[in-house]
Amino acid sequence: MLELASRLHTARARDAGHKSASLSADRVLRQHFSMILPDSMPVDAQFVDSSERTVVGAAGLAFKAPVMAYLLKDPEAFHFLKPLWQEGMSVLIMSHPRGTPVSVIFPHGQETRVLKHIPQAIQEKIGEAFRTASFWAGTLNDEGHHVIDLKSPSPGPHFFVNLLLGNRIGFEKPLQTTPKSVVDRLGHGSFRSHAATQVLATRWDMRPEENGFPANRQFYLVEDGRQIFYSAAPNDSNVEWAQAVHAQNRTRITYRTHCGLEIVRLIFLLPHEDGLPLASEVQSIFLFNHSNRDRHLRLVVTGMFGAASPGALQEDVVYTNLAMQASVLKRSDGSIAAISPNYNSAWNKEDVRFHAMVVHQGKRLFFPDEFCSDYNEFVGRGTMEHPECLLHLSNRLARKGPGFFALAANVDVPIGDSARVDNFTGLVSGKLDPAFDDESLSEQVELLLDRYSAEGEVDRALERSLEFLDRYSRHVQVDTGNPRFDQYFNRNLPFQILYQTFLSRSFCQTQKGYREIGFREIQDLFASMPYFISMGHSWLVKDLLKEWASQIYEFGYANHNFYWKGKEPGEFSDDALWFVQALDIYVNHTGDMAFLDEQRDIAGSDPTRQRSIYETVKAILRYSGEISIGKHRLPLLDKADWNDTLRLDYDYLNGPQKEAAYNQQLESHHDPSKPFESDYSESVMNAFLLKVALDAARKMASRRGDSAYAEKLEALADRLRRDLQQHAWKGNFFARVLFNRYADGRYAYLGARGDDLSADPAIDGTYFLNSFNWSILADVATEEQIGIMLNVIRDILLTPHGLKLCSPVNYSAVSERGGSGEYFAGDRENGGVFKHANMMGVAAMLKAAKTVKDRNLAAELRDLAYRIVDLVMPFRTMDDPFVLCGNPRFCTQYNNSETGENVGPLLSGTATWLWLSLMAAYGIKITAEGIELDPILKDIKQEIRLSLNTGKASYRVKIAKPNGFCRVRDEMPLVQLDGLPVASNRIPLFKDGKVHRVNVVFGSG
């Protein structure tokens, strides 16, 4: 009889009764050596065969690391260890502290025995593996840069990845045209210009480690007819040492070779300038000769241009090849200015990719004089690591794609001297250039090379990029006494928020597809707009908001996704509601009420018409609050809401379909006060979002003097709150969805006690984190309800890795096919620790902790909030990198709730809502009327300091308190401004350009 063994999610398999559910190798090792392995000691183990009875393992590590895989790849270590386990005996290699030799141990009854003799060479190999394993994940330096040994194993696909961003602020359409790159520790990865347009190609396969085609940004060195170096082979015998440093918006990779060369690579994106290509990435290669002889080197660089029609790769690879051929721009002396793919169809000619190379050798400047445009020709019978045709490139233009390129030049480096080779990969586009024509490529490449061939110009471009990032990050800086936290908050968190502002969250290491920008991405603006405003870039925030506003239809629904054109109109019912929140943050921060009168295009109007931002808000609220609502007067779920895999109504109507059906309803009943009639499901989550939007718009209307509309919105908000309390509160939790389609009442709601949809018989219903989060953020939940729900989420949703998005759900009972149900439990929307929602939860808990009357409840909310914040910090991955994975500098989207592994994508709302939550914790709220100070710190935290720059003045804020729980509601702190007491916890918003000192002291009385 066959037995099913599943190594993944073994706990669930055992619960389901599978006879041979696999134990992990680590657990078997602990069973065999329980007498000497405490549970707290990290171990690493592998089964020796598929019977899963015998293991070979290691202990005495700083954290779990793949030491056994590392050792078993070494032939000497393997041949030493294999005979030891062949008698069916498990083997434990144990390292001892203070440099004493390792031991090889076998189980022996209830005791153990130790191998008496280990050859000295094996002792050294094993000892070296144990010593170096602690450094395999690299280190974070004082500036928050990730310093990485290229020879070490990788904890996961995201761990050794950096993000690079161009700068088109001040130029047209920066939201859609800002260039972006992903770079791993070897320089691999892809590069996009406007929207989803690839400059360097993505690798279209299932391996998350390969975002870009392997040839991207790589190069070879040849000497005396022999390859001596390949940039993607740090373990080559000639490489003595290799290191990458991922810093904010640039990556530096350094190698030292046994033959006396030092090779340095610097990768970043050029900030945009008039007349230059829309997107340009630089890789500067520096060659230093530390040997005792002159070096005559041949440098060959490679890459793969993005396909003009990537979707066709799925359908017709031959088409994509035959529609493209190679071209070369040559200088007057016959050398190569740039190599470029040439697409045949006119619609593909609008975006032209190129690669150029400039060699600086002493005072001499020259260009490559050999090229290859055929990948198969270049590699031949060899491999990418050792191509067959490296010694001489064919200089033949390929008649068909793919868009591979190689350029070569000879570089002489005398003893003690150096040379520099700047590589420019970019895209010239007619997307925003009315003068674009067949000559634009040569004209813009010539300008680029003229501009950046001059000595020092590339370095100055990097300085400009870093200076911008420094000014951006200065908005708020903290000194908490925790260096790791401060480095992250002050350096890496602002950069991730900046990066995410200009692109879809689909672009990072593992997301290779083309999800476009959508209204959920506008949440990133919640955090980035205070940074931009402090730089004097309020105009940029308005431009970005207007671009989103133009994706909202006259009826009030929005395009779910858009680049140059919108799509999926009205399919996801939360979309336009996020816009109102973003607008509210901008208006409150700046007091710029005039912005509400600015005109924007109405999506879908033909001919194009415009309306004001204010009228756009009115349309959103009418659609979401008065028309597209269900029988309980809550917004319809539609295809999905915030959780876009929670799909329950497969016969839903999108925006245009619903608009047409509603107009038919009006023709029949002639009653515009009636909402759209249907049996569709209602989203409680979106009802909370609607409540937030109604409250925000009411304040805007009041400030405009539109009292009639303000009163209407107040009445709608009050009615909505009553409806939520009456229909969505189920005794111990707010539901997530209300059903209307079950005439027999079989299922009335999803979420909360008694819904009869729990997939875990031990739980009395299903529970969704966002029902807790947004009931508080929307000011709907009462203090009693908050206390009840807090107990539920602690009992059911809290894991060692954070709060699960939901408890186990029997999705198949209510959905033919739902994305959540397609994941195993613990993954993503099916009970994963969705850190985006966790941070929304933190924001909700901190809000409630400041306002509830019960001090004990307030302290419990605050303590859980800080616990979740601590779990989300990306630098925490360094404590257990091969288990937690993720990235130590950037937030990933979620953790697996069973294993704790940080799983991508890298880009997510986690960073945004983490920043919002931390600003709430520190109690810093900037409004047009002043700066409100309402901190709520940990019990043991007695002091933190902040530097706040509004762009018009600076503040040095010190928050101090005794041990214990302190909050403004219970005790007004002593507030001093420039040494003088202030009567409240609000200080003026100065515009004098000066530095003001602020003290907020609890317990002073």
- Is-contact 703 617, C-beta < 8 A? no
* Residues 577 and 620: beta-carbon distance below 8 Å: yes
Q: Per-residue DSSP letters for 516-544? A: -EEGGGGHHHHHHHHHHHHTT-HHHHHHH
Assess contact for 633 and 716: CB atoms under 8 A: no
Q: Is the pLDDT of residue 508 over 80?
A: no
Average pLDDT on 991-1002 reads 96
CA distance 182 to 887: 13
303 sits in which H/E element:
strand 295-304
Q: Which residues pair with 254 in a beta bridge?
A: 243, 264
8 Å CB contact between 244 and 183: no
Statement: residue 3 has pLDDT above 70: no
Evaluate if residue 65 carries a pLDDT over 50.
yes
Model confidence over 787-830: pLDDT tens digits?
Answer: 999 999 999 999 999 999 999 999 889 887 766 777 888 888 88
Cβ count near 80 (within 10 Å): 18
CA pair distance 995, 491, nearest whole angstrom: 22
Instruction: Output the DSSP codes for 730-792.
Output: -SSSB-SEE----TT-S--EESEET-S-BSSTTSSEE-BHHHHHHHHHTT-S-HHHHHHHHHH
Helices 909-922 and 855-872: angle between axes, nearest 10 degrees: 140
Residue 18 pLDDT level (bands cut at 50, 70, 90): very low
**What phi and psi values does residue 198 have, to the nearest 5 degrees?**
-85, 130
Give the pLDDT confidence of 555-567 residue by residue, as tens digits: 999 999 999 999 9
579-588 average pLDDT score: 96
DSSP state letter for 721 = H
pTM above 0.85, yes or no: yes
Would you say 385 and 230 are in contact if contact means Cβ atoms under 8 Å apart? yes
Give me 84's structure tokens. Answer: 């030891």
Give the number of other CB atoms < 10 A from CB of residue 610.
13
- Please state the rounded mean pLDDT for residues 732-740: 97
Average pLDDT, stretch 45-57? 92
Strand 930-933 and strand 986-987: the pairing is antiparallel
Assign 331 a pLDDT band (cuts: 50, 70, 90): very high
Q: How confident is the model at residue 850 (pLDDT cuts 50, 70, 90)?
A: very high
Across 298-315, average pLDDT: 88
pLDDT at 643: 75
Which pLDDT does position 17 carry in this prediction?
A: 32
Instruction: Flag whether pLDDT at 10 surpasses 70.
Output: no
Contacts of 676 (CB under 8 A, 6+ apart): 627, 628, 629, 636, 658, 661, 662, 665
Q: Which tokens hold the place of 747? A: 């299922």
User: Could you give the angle at the alpha carbon of 615 between the alpha carbons of 612 and 621, nearest 5°?
Assistant: 145
Find the angle CA(328)-CA(329)-CA(332) to the nearest 5 degrees: 130
- Calculate the CA 192 to chain-centre distance: 16
3-state secondary structure 154-167: CCCCCCCEEEEECE
| 6: confidence class by pLDDT, cuts 50, 70, 90 | low
Burial class (CB in 10 A: 0-12, 13-18, 19+), 649: buried
Q: How far apart are the first and last CA of the chain?
A: 77
